[in-house]
Structures are given as C-alpha cells and as structure tokens.
Structure 1
Amino acid sequence: GEIDYATVRVYRTPKDLDRMLTEACEAGLIIKHSGVGADDERLEADVLQCRAAHTRIAFWDVDAPATLARVEENPCDPFRQLIPQYDFIFTYGGGLPVAEHYLQLGAKNCIPIYNALDPDTHHPVAPDTSVNCDLAFIGHRLPDREQRVEQFFFAASESASECSFLLGGEGWGNRPLPANVRWIGHVGSSAHNRINCSARMVLNINRQSMAKVGFSPPTRVFEAAGAGACVITDAWAGIDQFFEPGREILVAESAEDIVSFLRETPRQAACEIGKAMRERALRDHTYSLRAHQVHEALHAEKELIASPTGNSIPAINSFA
C-alpha cells in the first residue's frame, strides 16, 4: 500500500538501476536491504558509491545468521570486504552474538532492531468459538522449521490426546494429523487476533537458524502479546530480555514441557500470563519504540547497540 513518509521507486529492469542510484544520492540515508533476490551483489557495492558529505549508507540484514555463515564459509565473498565501508549495520535481531560477529568482520557498528507490536493491528477481540482450542500454532511448513514443529507441536499433540490443537499455515495438507489436531490452512493477518484470543494458549516455534543464534523473537510473539494471549515459546537464548519466563511467557525446552503447561495452567491463569505479556509489550516492545532506537542510532555521537527495552549500550568495536 501507499505510505506518506517516503517516496517509493520500484525499478523494472536492471537497466534502471543507474538512474535509481543517481536519484538515491540525493537522500540523507540510503539503506541496502539484504536478500532482495535480484541484483543484491551489485547493489551492495554500488550503494557505497553514493556516499557524500550529506549521505550515509546503511545495510539492513534481515537474516544475519545466513549472511554471516555465507561470508565465513567463503573468505572471498564480495560482501565481506564491503562490511567496513557501511556507515551503519542494522540487523533483524540477533543480539550481542550477531553484533559482535559483524564487528569482528570490521563493521563500524551493529545495531540489532527487533520485531515488535503494532497495537493498532494486534489487540484483544471477542473469542470465536469456531477456533476454540487448547493450543494454537500458526506457521508455514518450512525446511528450517519443520523438524522443530514435529519436535514441539506434533509430539505434544500426540502426548496430550485430551487437548485440542489448532494448526494454521500453508504446506501441512499432506501431513497425517493426529485426531486432536485441526488444520485450517493459511491464516491471514486479519484473522490473527481472532485465533490468538480464542485459544487457551498460543505456541511459538522459531526457525532453527534463529533459535540457534537466539535473541530473535519472531513477529508472531508480539502479535500474540498484543492480543493478550498466553504464549508458550520454544527455548532460545535471550527470551528473558524480552519477557519474563513464568510470569509473562512460558518457555518450553521440550514437548513434555508443553504438555505440562497445558495440563497445569487453567484458563484463568493463562489469561493472567497473557495480560502481563501484553502490558510488557505495550511498555517496552512497540514499533514506535523501535523507530526511536533507529533514530537514536542514526543521530548518536558514539556507536551503539540497541537493547530490546529501548535503551542503548556502546558497541564494542575492538577485540583483544
């Protein structure tokens, strides 16, 4: 859709790139988004040629684990040599492990910016009896997540046959389902609140690469938080920097933990956890706060690493 805070230009063919880059040179900030899927290698280098006294260049990495693995596996990767030339490196989460890795590769700074809540789109609504369940999980069937879905969601459903499970997302149609699991196919954004407010609990399962690195809460965690849902998440490093385990979120190391939460957490207790999570998200994890972090980083006199709560700490830029 249209936005009122920026001018959007979409190039049709690679022949348009030179004209687009010339136009971009008039901007105060140029951001190269990672993994666009076309002309990435060229643009990673060419945007740096736009640097001027009034123009700074940033790289925004939305899949830092993949980017960092790629440049480590191939010391001759062209992007590796470009990292020190960017004025800013922003990442889609990842915390200190990702930030320190980028700094070791010569980055001037690294600022993780995390997913967050938009309270205008994700908020409490009336429950819908058609999607009532004990545990809901919404997630597409992806190679980087399927094994963890089997490990957490399906294993729990088979162990807790007395509970009802709801599965949303594409790709699960040919997977045999236990009798207590109902698949509802693709779930559009407009239906998130309805499901999050109808399930007794909502399950989050991180992709394997994100779980390995940690410090990467996915969008669905904050969407569920906005609805006041009681969230069970798979365990990964850094979750306690966003929500307090046991009071604002439930953390499962295994399917057995999920089953225990289902059997030992009545609906009223789940509602209290969901309420506490929503309050924390509204206080510390809105997109307005994340935007403030970006603004602060762009105007800081010293290098910063953004923390999940909106504060910032100096970036480490040397290693013994």
Structure 2
Amino acid sequence: MKFVVFGLTISSSWGNGHATLWRGLCRALAKRGHRVVFFEKDVPYYGANRDFVEIPGGDLILYQEWNDVRRRAEEEVRDADVAMVTSYCPDGIVAGTLVLASARATRVFYDLDTPVTFSRLDAGEPISYIGPQGLAGFDLVLSYTGGRALQRLKTELGAQRVAPLYGHVDPDVHRPVLRVQHYGSDLSYLGTYAADRQDTLQRLFIDPAARRPDRRFLIGGAQYPDDFPWQPNIHFVRHLPPPEHPAFFSSSRLTLNITRQAMAEMGWCPSGRLFEAAACGAPILSDTWEGLDSFFQPGKEILIVGHMEDTVAALDLTDAELGRIAKAGRDRVLEEHTSEHRARELEILLGGATSLSRSTGGPAAMMEA
C-alpha cells in the first residue's frame, strides 16, 4: 500500500514523541512492502535539531508553506491507498480537507495526543488540527490512547470507527548496548521538561536523590528551566537524539517513567519511553494509571512507585532482582509491543475500514442514512 501522511514531524525528535514512533512504524511498514510519503512543515526549531532525513522506501517532503506543496499533496493523495492526517499537524485542517476529499484512499485520522485533544475540548479551547466537522468524515480514527477515550472520540467528535494504535518500539534501534560511563547512573530519567510532571519528578526522583547522596542520578531531556531544583548528585544531559537512547538506558541501573497528567488521568496511554527502556534492558520504575497492567505486569515486568520511599526501596534491590525485572520487561515488549506488531495491527484495521467504506458508501453515506 501507499501511505500519505500529514504529520507533526518525523525528521526531528526534539521536544516531541511523534518522530521516534513514526520512524519505527515507517521502517516496519517498509519491511512489509508498503511505502510512506510523509509531509512535514519545516519549522525552525525542528530544522535546527534535525536527526532524520530519509524514510526507508518512502519520501519525506519538507515544506515552508501549505500553498508551496498543495499541488504535490493533491498528486500524492490521488493514488494513495491510505491518506492520513495526525494530531498537531500544523496544517491539519487543510490537510484533513484534502484527505476527506479522496475518492480512492482509506481516510484516516491518527490522534497521537488524545488526552490533550480532550483537555482542550473540555476547556472550550480550539483544536488546531481538527476542523469544525470533527472526525465524522474519516473511515478510521486511530488513537494513541485506549479505554474510555475511544467512546469519547465517537460521542464528542463524531468518529464512526475508532481503534487504539498504541506506542511501540523498534528493537533494531532500541536494544541493549555496552554501558557508557557518562550515562552511568543508579537512577535515570529521560523526558522533556513538563510543569505537570514536576511534582511527581520531585517526589520520585529529586527527593530520593537528596535522601541518597551516595547514588548517581541522571536526567536527559530538553527545555529544563534555570531554576530547576538540582541536587549535587543529579547530573544532566541535554536533549538526547534517539540513537543515544540505547546507551542512556543500558547504562542505567534503574530508569524512571513519569506520565503526563492528562495521559495519567485518561489512562490506557503508555508512553513510548516505557517500551524503549524495556527493549534496552533497563528495569523500569513508573507511576501508575488505569490500564498499565495490560502492557506490563506490575512487580514482575515493571515496578510501580508512588512515594519517595518506593524509589529508595527500589534502589536497594539487588542486581539479580533488577536483572529479573529487566529481562521480563524486555521479553514482554518483544512479544507484544514492537513497531512490527503495530504495523500488523494497522494493516488489519485498515482492511476492516476499507471493507466498511466499500460496503456502506463510507462514513458520509452512514451519516446520510
């Protein structure tokens, strides 16, 4: 199949979670004989931090303004089998109009930011990537978040057919590697700074660092403010591109996952960092949220922490105990959560959407009926 995608970014992993997911999914789709044409607006902050320039077996089309690429977009969609627009696409509404006008392609919307979509909807704020008609015209609406979010996409945004397409990891990229000294830590945390994670980071990372001054703590990420409450034993590595993630996680005795507030409140929204860390063989500490036990078995494949004392207790586990958790978590990811698994799921979902569209005349016909 030929996929045409209008997304946020695949070329830069700086300050976003979209790029790594798309890279893994595109590689998996290419291995399965598909081709992806990805349209990305060339904005300065991604252009200055570009760490990916070529889609295997596909095309990356960078553009300055929509009018500059409109004709090319029309041509690519004309013979596409799948035409997709994603959340946070800078030109999501006009791209969505183009996708919905396609007479040939299966028309897809993929919300990789479902909790943010609904937090804005609940606050009465505009959603820049969804038009006034909502999602009713799409043959298939995919969501990075499962659970009750799927029903809300139907009842509040008019989606006709919805399904989760969760995060994933490319094990060819994220895998155990030799320990790198400057990434070495007793506890690491990899994530862009976010104000809504700061209280949890304080409780589960910064306070334990103060309690255990003899241990080495490491933060990797972007956008940390000057007034961040550093401790003497907390070290910092600025933005890490995906090729450095395996060394970061493989050099961590433990690594911490903290979920964004909107994601935690909605549940069923596993961060891609969970799968990446597990695939690299790092034992994971994580806050909890509804649905987490469907992806990892707490106590066996992942450790759940809620208080400073939980983190300190995890630091006191033996290497053998942590090794068993790391192996179980990695095995689970390789069995269920790779990019290859998601590519197969996507093929199945698209097959169902295509059958539905052909048998009913598509979502428009269903609405008219």
Question: Distance between the aligned counterparts of 1:266 and 1:76, measured in 2?
Answer: 50
- What pairs with 1:109-258 in structure 2 (closer than 5 Å)? 109-172=161-224, 174=226, 175-258=228-311
Partner of 2:137: 85
Deviation at 1:286, TM superposition (A): 0.7
CA deviations 1:73-125 (Å, max 9, x no partner) are 44997735231111110122x11221111122321111211111211111111
Partner of 1:60: 110
CA, structure 1 residues 266+22, in 2 after alignment: closer, same or farther (shift >3 Å)? same
* Higher alpha-carbon deviation: 60-69 or 144-153: 144-153
Two-structure CA RMSD over aligned residues (Å): 2.3
Structure 1 position 283 matched with structure 2 position 335: yes
**SS, match of residue 3 in structure 1:** coil
Question: Distance between the aligned counterparts of 2:126 and 2:230, measured in 1?
Answer: 46
Question: Distance between the aligned counterparts of 1:176 and 1:76, measured in 2?
Answer: 34
TM-score by length of 2: 0.74
**Length, aligned pairs only:** 298
Deviation at 1:195, TM superposition (A): 2.4
Partner of 2:363: none
CA deviations 1:246-284 (Å, max 9, x no partner) are 001001122222122112x11111011101111111111
Question: Distance between the aligned counterparts of 1:59 and 1:296, measured in 2?
Answer: 16
CA, structure 1 residues 273+55, in 2 after alignment: closer, same or farther (shift >3 Å)? same
Partner of 2:99: 47
* Higher alpha-carbon deviation: 227-236 or 17-26: 17-26
- Percent identity between the two aligned chains: 30
AA of the residue aligned to 1:42? V
Partner of 1:96: 147
Question: Distance between the aligned counterparts of 2:293 and 2:172, measured in 1?
Answer: 25
Match of 1:71 among 109, 113, 121: 121
CA contact (8 A) 1:148 1:208 kept: no
Match of 1:268 among 313, 317, 320: 320
CA, structure 1 residues 47+149, in 2 after alignment: closer, same or farther (shift >3 Å)? same
Partner of 1:298: 350
Deviation at 1:216, TM superposition (A): 1.6
* Higher alpha-carbon deviation: 187-196 or 288-297: 187-196
Question: Distance between the aligned counterparts of 1:186 and 1:104, measured in 2?
Answer: 39
AA of the residue aligned to 1:223? E
**SS, match of residue 206 in structure 1:** coil
CA, structure 1 residues 85+241, in 2 after alignment: closer, same or farther (shift >3 Å)? same
Unaligned runs of 5+ in 1: 304-320
